Amino acid sequence: MKKIILASASPRRKELLEKIGLQFTVDPSGCAEDASAGLEPHELVRRISIDKANAVAGKYTDAVIIAADTIGVIEDKILGKPHTAKEAVKMLRAISGKPHLVITGFTVLDTATHRRVTHTVDTKVYIKPLSTAEIEAYVQTGEPLDKAGAYAIQGRGAVIVEKIEGDFYNVMGLPLAALAETLKEFGIDVWDNNNSV
């Protein structure tokens, strides 16, 4: 039986894989998410997801590794994860009243065959115009910290999102439909109750 390993410390990605009934183990990669590499956004998330998968792959002889990285992009600027309230305010001001792109790169890697597939998925998110008071109130909740783009669409951030075009779960950090299709290529069917190959 091939193990499925999620190479991520993200509670949201863990929750999403549980939602679709996958049997898996969490083993965070510990990789730094360096957005300063000067790569185009799609290439950046692909590269980081590959690095995360590779960092964990060496520990397993017969497993399928799932790794991902998510960023926001507005006007060709990457929206990473704010680490301070000041950074979160600045980011929310930047996306207020404008659409931005959420891009997730994900990698599926079979450690036995060394086969690897990497994809990116885009979702366009429209944020309503936000007043200074709304931005400050949201930042005070603490939710925007350490979230790509400074909001959590599945949390209180839902009230600042006017609409999206694309995969909702991609904005949470894992495009489930695209991932499920890719897992099929590795013999893993999410509809199979054992979902191990």
Is 197 among the domain residues? no
Is 107 among the domain residues? yes
Is 195 among the domain residues? no
For 35, the domain range is: 3-184
Catalytic residue list contains 167: no
Q: What is the pTM of this model?
A: 0.91
Catalytic residue among 27, 51, 69, 167: 69
SS3 label, residue 2: coil
* pLDDT score of 48 more than 70: yes
With beta carbons less than 8 A apart as the criterion, state whether 166 and 121 touch.
Answer: yes
Number of domains into which the chain is organized: 1
Structure confidence by residue, pLDDT tens digits, 52-98: 999 999 999 999 999 999 999 999 899 888 999 999 999 999 999 99
CATH of the domain at 21: 3.90.950.10
Q: For residue 50, give the nearest of 62, 68, 27 by alpha carbon.
A: 68
